[in-house]
Chain A
Amino acid sequence: MAKTLCINMLSGYQETDDPLFMVNLAATALKKGYGVKIFLYGNGCNMANQEKPIEGHLAIVERLKAHMDIGKIGGKLDELAQQGAQIETCHTTEYGRGTEAEPYREGVKWGDVGQSFVGQLMTSHVLITLSRG
Chain B
Amino acid sequence: MLFLLNKTQPDTCELIRLLGGEEEKEALLIEDAIFYGTEFMLPTLREAGVEHVYAAADSVQQRSVALSPECEVVDYDRIVDLIMEDHEKIVCI
Which A residues contact B (CB, under 8 angstroms)? Answer: 3, 5, 16-18, 21, 24-25, 27-29, 32, 34, 125-132
Query: Chain B contacts of A3 at CB under 8 A?
Result: 84
Q: A131 vs B6: C-alpha distance in the bound complex, in angstroms?
A: 8
The 3 closest A-B pairs by CB, nearest first: A28-B76, A17-B31, A129-B92
Query: Chain A contacts of B53 at CB under 8 A?
Result: none
State whether A24 touches B58 (Cβ < 8 A). yes
CB proximity of A129 to chain B, nearest CB, Å: 5
Interface residues in B16-41 (C-beta closer than 8 Å to A): 30-32
Partner of B84, one of A18, A21, A27, A126: A126
CB proximity of B31 to chain A, nearest CB, Å: 4
Interface size class of B (residues with CB under 8 A): 10 to 19
SS class, residues of chain B in contact with chain A: helix
Given A16-B31, A28-B80, A21 contacting B56 (CB threshold 8 A):
yes
Query: Chain B contacts of A21 at CB under 8 A?
Result: 6, 30-31, 56, 59
Which B residues contact A (CB, under 8 angstroms)? Answer: 4, 6-7, 30-32, 56, 58-59, 62, 76-77, 79-80, 83-84, 90, 92
CB proximity of B85 to chain A, nearest CB, Å: 8
State whether B77 touches A130 (Cβ < 8 A). no
Query: Chain A contacts of B80 at CB under 8 A?
Result: 25, 28-29, 32, 34
Q: A21 vs B4: C-alpha distance in the bound complex, in angstroms?
A: 12
Q: A126 vs B7: C-alpha distance in the bound complex, in angstroms?
A: 21
Q: A3 vs B90: C-alpha distance in the bound complex, in angstroms?
A: 15
Query: Chain A contacts of B84 at CB under 8 A?
Result: 3, 5, 29, 32, 34, 125-126
State whether B4 touches A28 (Cβ < 8 A). no
Given A25-B76, A128-B92, A129-B92, A18 contacting B83 (CB threshold 8 A):
no
Query: Chain B contacts of A16 at CB under 8 A?
Result: 6, 31
CB proximity of A21 to chain B, nearest CB, Å: 6
CB proximity of B93 to chain A, nearest CB, Å: 10
Given A18-B31, A128-B90, A128-B92, A5 contacting B76 (CB threshold 8 A):
no
Query: Chain A contacts of B7 at CB under 8 A?
Result: 132
